[in-house]
Copies of this chain bind each other. A is one copy, B any other.
């Protein structure tokens, strides 16, 4: 390596970080270290399918170091970054510290409870494999508990599922639970009819899917209702506990509550003096760099970027992918003595799936729903999924479940692995 080698540190192996790393991979004069607290890249658009027992975690995740193995100039470290010293150009993680010439922050977003973090225990959100597995455990356990109990009120509570938040994630979760109760589980129980499950999608705003057109949001609502989902708009959640939710003055007894109502950007220590928007996203310049620190870039869900005057770009995979690539291209340009170019987003449109064979698609003036929209959704997701093996596995599982309504991953996995609880460990959890 020459003395003029530039060290690029990338924090986060999501869509933005991974795509930036690939552009920088095996380029002369560049050395990359990618740090992520997980060992895997996660294809978040399909995470709800893991939560709904249709896919296994490994189907939509791959080890970051394996994806980048062919690039000799990239080192991958599993570690959690705790702070950044912009002046010293150094990041500090739990187990190591790294100096950088360029820094790319691509830490993504987490779900947010807007001042009610204690709600998380009762209403998990969906951002990580661990959370998807927890949601799967809760949904499947509710059906098991309903089958076991002889108390009618408790059975009704166990069979009530509330999804808070009418964005794409909430719609996809509600559709999948509807699908599961109407089709997948229908023959498997003796004492209950899974069809009687009440699935309620609760949205504070006047309608679901505000990022879509009114027409397509209406079509999504009809599709959801067809799967037995009740859509309650204008219904802000004011209280939430283990027994159920409070919506305005109304009380709903529900054993399973899922949170899809909001996100906030991940934040790292050392962000004092950095401008952020109300979702905690770092406001960036037209080249996605930080004001005052042109060697620091921010991309993906962590960045607040807007084309002059327009609203900021949403937290979508295509935005993150394009931003990651654009930043890497600018680093290469600068290394070659050329000047940076501003980022321009090429709008790919947006999609949402509803159940097993319906979806809605919008791209500019092109708007359609139903089965062909679902096929489009299917092909787009398989195309973007990382890794040939994952693609094959997902195609096979989908084909299988499309024709017989089955779900291949209906496992309730406990959080505790020990047989012999010792002094230091909690009692094994009740099933």
Asked whether, in the complex, the Cβ of A417 is within 8 Å of the Cβ of B133, the reply is yes
* A225 lies within 8 A of chain B by Cβ: no
Of B144, B191, B409, which one neighbours A58 at CB under 8 angstroms? B409
B40 touches A411 (CB 8 A): yes
Q: Do residues A416 and B129 form an inter-chain contact, with CB atoms below 8 A?
A: no
Q: What is the CB-to-nearest-CB distance from A33 to chain B, in angstroms, rounded to a whole number?
A: 9
Q: Is A402 interfacial (CB 8 A cutoff)?
A: no
Question: Which of A74, A113, A190, A390 lies at the interface centre, i.e. has the most chain B CB atoms within 10 A of its CB?
Answer: A190
B-contact 0/1 string along A233-269, CB 8 Å cutoff: 0000000000000000000000000000000000000
CB distance from A148 to the nearest CB of B (A): 5
Contacts A147-B77, A191-B75, A389-B406 given: A415-B412 contact, CB under 8 Å? no
Report B-chain residues with C-beta under 8 Å of the C-beta of A408. 58, 389-390, 393
**A79 beta carbon closer than 8 Å to chain B:** yes
CB of B144 within 8 A of CB of A78, answer: yes
CA distance A94 to B131 in the complex (A): 27
Residues of B within 8 A of A85 (CB): none
Q: Does A38 contact B (CB under 8 A)?
A: yes
Which of A59-67, A160-168, A353-361 faces chain B?
A59-67
Please state if B40 and A412 are interface contacts (CB–CB under 8 Å): yes
Would you call the interface of chain A mostly helix, strand, loop, or mixed?
Answer: loop
Contact between A148 and B69 (Cβ–Cβ < 8 Å)? no
Of B58, B63, B149, B190, the residue contacting A75 (CB under 8 A) is B190
Smallest CB gap from A131: residue in B: B417
The answer to the question of A2 belonging to the interface, with a C-beta cut-off of 8 Å to chain B, is no
A410 in contact (CB, < 8 A) = yes
Interface residue A372 (Cβ < 8 Å from any Cβ of B): no
Interface string of A407-431 (1 = CB under 8 A from B): 0111111111111101011000011
Choose, from A10-18, A118-126, A279-287, the stretch at the interface. A118-126
Report chain B residues within 8 Å CB of A118.
Answer: 420, 422
The smallest beta-carbon distance between A141 and chain B, in angstroms, is 8
Residue A140, interface by CB 8 Å: yes
Whether A78 and B121, one on each chain, are in contact in the complex, defined by CB atoms closer than 8 angstroms, is no
B-contact 0/1 string along A107-135, CB 8 Å cutoff: 00011010001101100110111110110
For A61, the closest partner residue in chain B by CB is: B411
A78 and chain B: residue at smallest CB distance = B144
Say whether A213 faces chain B, with CB atoms less than 8 Å apart: no
CB-CB contacts of A57-100 with B at 8 A, as 1s and 0s? 11101110110011010111111100000000000001110000
Chain B residues with CB under 8 A of A425: 121
Q: Is B80's CB under 8 angstroms from A431's CB? A: yes
- A371 contacts chain B at the CB level, 8 A cutoff: no
A-B contact pairs, 5 of them (CB 8 A): A75-B191, A110-B419, A129-B413, A130-B417, A389-B408
